[in-house]
Amino acid sequence: KQEVTQIPAALSVPEGENLVLNCSFTDSAIYNLQWFRQDPGKGLTSLLLIQSSQREQTSGRLNASLDKSSGRSTLYIAASQPGDSATYLCAVSSQGGSEKLVFGKGTKLTVNP
């Protein structure tokens, strides 16, 4: 059964800092990995989608990498801003099992002005 872990559970940084969020998964047989952002009480906003054949994806200040063989992904946020404060979730679409997406518990990011 696929399991997704995100470390750390919470992170507090000063504005302007570059930071890395980590995601690991137990079964490397995945179709893709997706990073989401969730603001308090809100739905999920898709940030980046990495197919299993890709190594990274970039969007603005965000860069996500995928190492399928080691079961790891990182989300790099450059020059963090207070508006980046949110919970960041990673989710994998696995080749086995019935669940469409398996989510980690998320990393709660706080960027202090």
Comparing CB distances to another protein, the nearer of 30 and 77 is 30
Smallest separation (angstroms) from another protein to the CB of 27: 14
Residues near another protein (CB under 8 A):
31-32, 34, 36, 41-46, 49, 51, 89, 91, 93, 95, 98-106
| DSSP labels, the chain | ---EEEE-SEEEEETT--EEEEEEES---EEEEEEEEE-TTS-EEEEEEEETT-SEEEETTEEEEEETTTTEEEEEE-S--GGG-EEEEEEEEESSSS-S-EE---EEEEEE-
If the CB atoms of residues 60 and 100 are measured against another protein, the closer one turns out to be: 100
Q: Which is nearer to another protein, 105 or 112 (CB)?
A: 105
